[in-house]
Amino acid sequence: MTTPLHITKDTLVSDILREHGDIAAVMEAFGVKRASGLTIRKVLGRFLTVERAAKFHGVPLDEFLPMVQRATGQVPAVNA
């Protein structure tokens, strides 16, 4: 049994996609626009950390990281 991925600012986007699938639709619900197609996100994600993705999307890391964590079920939704 593998240990679940704990998402931090240093987590690669490709690791998130591998473990949780495409979370772009969920991220859009938080106001983060989808970056191209899934194939492009998988390729870029091999080099892109959560911190760099936050900068790419123009969202402060302290807002972006919890969004990603909620999108993957690691943090309960606000007012849940």
The total number of residues written for the chain in this structure: 80
Pick 45 or 80 by higher pLDDT.
Answer: 45
Identify the pLDDT of residue 20. Answer: 80
pLDDT higher than 60, residue 31: no
Asked whether 48 and 16 are in contact (CB, 8 A), the reply is no
Q: By percentage, how much of the chain surpasses pLDDT 70?
A: 61
What is the Cα–Cα distance from 50 to 17, expressed in whole angstroms?
12
Asked whether 19 and 75 are in contact (CB, 8 A), the reply is no
pLDDT-derived band at 10 (thresholds 50, 70, 90) equals very high
